[in-house]
Amino acid sequence: MLSAWRAFFRFLVERDRTMRDDPTVGLKAPKSSKRLPSVLTPDEAVRLVTIEGEGELAMRDRALFELAYSSGLRLAELAGLDVDGVDVAHGEVRVLGKGAKERIVPVGAPARVAIGAWLATRVPFAAAGERALFVGSHGRRLSPRSIERRLAMWAVRQGIAQHVHPHMLRHSFASHVLQSSGDLRAVQEMLGHASIASTQVYTHLDFQALAKVYDAAHPRARRKRAK
């Protein structure tokens, strides 16, 4: 609305010589509130990635989602990951992030187990010469859109009420690690953020969690809520 008024008064000043002042000059737009990223609770995240099933696709999806939550990878990083990018023995994954910047991120024990099981299944499943860690039913690299669909499907099956997308696992990873460690700089490094400002949004999520605990536990908070 403010942009429209600015354009309108610029037009009037240019066309009407009797109009000397533009009332919109120096008028600043109100700052819109920043939306905090949606995250899963730790219980929801664990329930989501704990996929039961012995089929190839179930094993692949468990390895995929365990890795996403364990290491906080972006969707493009998951889809672009090659077999040689994961070191199961040492618990590390090497990814190429934004700006072609490479980083090494730790991989948790459940994710290592799931990836190891998938690697054993992947050999006859993948097409000849395919380097991708995660492949589809035709043996070729799994697309980002396919990962999104599989995650949304499993979220429904696992009883997660809200719509789940891959970036939500990344947000959940960052929020849960920050809540446990309080180490903002380490979370920044693992996420591959160029600026600490990008990571600081998770401190707001951490404060929200603390505020809920306060509201539920503090005598003053309970008394105020009762009124």
Active site residues: 74, 98, 167, 170, 193, 202
Tell me how far apart the alpha carbons of residues 214 and 209 are, in angstroms, rounded to a whole number: 9
Orientation angle between helical segments 166-181 and 56-71, nearest 10 degrees: 40
Strand partners for 96:
102
Q: Which of 2, 118, 127, 9 is nearest to 53 (CA)?
A: 118
66, 140, 172, 177 from 37: Cα distances, Å: 20, 32, 9, 15
Question: How many Å is the maximal CA-CA distance in the chain?
Answer: 81
Measured CA to CA, the distance from residue 208 to residue 51 in angstroms comes to 29
- Measured CA to CA in angstroms, residue 221 lies from 181, 203, 207, 209, 212 at distances of 27, 22, 16, 15, 10
